[in-house]
Structure 1
Amino acid sequence: MTVNSEKSLLNLVPEILHERVTRHWQDWVKACESIEQNPQQETDLTLLGKIWACSEFIPLTMIRHPQLWFDLIQGNFLNLSFTLEDYRQHLMLRLEENSAINDIALMKQLRLFRAQQMLRIAWRDLADSANTKETLCNLTDLAESLVDITLETLYQDQCEQLGVPFNSREEQQRLVILGMGKLGGYELNFSSDIDLIFCFEEEGEISGKRSLANSQFFIRLGQRFIKALNDVTADGFVFRVDMRLRPYGDSGPLVMSQAGLEQYYQTQGRDWERYAMIKARVIGGDRIEGEAVMDMLKPFIYRRYLDFGAFESIRDMKAMINAEILRKGNLNNIKLGSGGIREIEFIGQTFQLLRGGSDPDLQIRGILDVLKVLAEKEYLDSKESDSLTASYDFLRRLENRLQIYADAQTHLLPDGKEQQASMALAMGYESWQSLFDDCEKHRASVQASFVLLLNEQGSESENDAEQEKTEENSIRSIWLHQQDEDEVLAILENSGMANFKAVYNLLDQFKKSSQLNAMTATGRQRLDTLMPTLLVFLREQSNPEEVLKRLLGLLQSILRRSVYLSLLNEYPEALKQLITLFAASPWIAQLLSRYPVLLDELLDPRNLYQIPTALKLKQELDGLLLRVVDDEEQQIESLRKFKQAQVLKIAAMDVAGVLDVFEVSEQLSNVAEILLDKVMSLALDWMVAKHGQPTCVIDGEEYLPSMAVVAYGKMGGRELSYSSDLDLVFLHDSQGEQQQTNGERVLDNTSFFARMAQRVIHLLSLQTANGRLYEIDMRLRPDGNAGMLVSSVQAYDLYQHEKAWTWEHQALIRASILCSSEHLALEFGRIRRSILMRQRDNAALATDVVEMREKMRDALGTKHETGQFHLKQDAGGLVDIEFIAQYGVLSCASKYEQFTEYTATRKILMKLIECNLLNSDQAQCLYDAYREYRTCNHQRALQQLTSVVEIESVATLKDNVKEIWRVVFEKQSVV
Structure 2
Amino acid sequence: MTVPGRRSSTFIRLLRSGFTDPSAAARLLDTEALAAVRADPVLLDALGATADPDLALRGLVRLAEAQPSGELPGLLDTLVSAKPLRDRLLGVLGASEALGDHLARHPRDWIDLVTYEAADLHPGLPEFERGLADAHDPVALRVAYRRCLLSIAARDVCGTIDVAQTAAELADLATATLRAALRIATAAAPEDAALCRLAVIAMGKCGGNELNYVSDVDVIFVGDAANGANGAGGANGADEGKALQAATRLASHLMRICSETTVEGTIWPVDANLRPEGRNGPLVRTLASHLAYYQRWAKTWEFQALLKARAVAGDEALGTDYIDAITPLVWQAAERENFVPDVQKMRRRVVDNIPAAQVDRELKLGPGGLRDVEFAVQLLQLVHGRSDATLHSGTTLDALHALAAGGYVGRADAAQLHDAYRFLRAMEHRIQLYRLRRTHLVPEDENDLRRLGRSMGLRTEPVAELNKAWRRHASVVRRLHEKLFYRPLLDAVAQLTPGETRLSPRAAGQRLEALGYADPASALRHLEALASGVTRKAAIQRTLLPVMLGWFADSADPDAGLLNFRKVSDALGKTPWYLRLLRDEGAAAENLARVLSAGRLAPDLLMRAPEAVALLGDPEGLAPRTHEALVQEVLAAVGRAENPETAVAAARGVRRRELFRTAAADIIGSYGTEDSPAEEDHGALVDRVGGAVSDLTAATIAGALRAAVQAHFGDTLPTRFAVIGVGRFGGHELGYGSDADVLFVHEPREGVDEQEAAKAAQTVIAEMRRLLQLPTADPPLLIDADLRPEGRSGPLVRTLASYAAYYRRWSLTWESQALLRAEPVAGEEELGRRFIELIDPLRYPAEGLGEDAVREIRRLKARMESERMPRGADPTLHTKLGRGGLSDVEWTVQLMQMRHAWAEPGLRTTRTREALAAAHAAGLIPTDEAQILDEAWVLATRVRNAVMLVRGRAGDTFPSEARELAAVGRYLGYAEGTVGELLDDYRRITRRARAVVEELFYGG
User: Larger radius of gyration, structure 1 or 2?
Assistant: 2
TM interval, short-chain normalised: 0.3 to 0.5
TM-score (norm 2): 0.44
TM-score (norm 1): 0.45
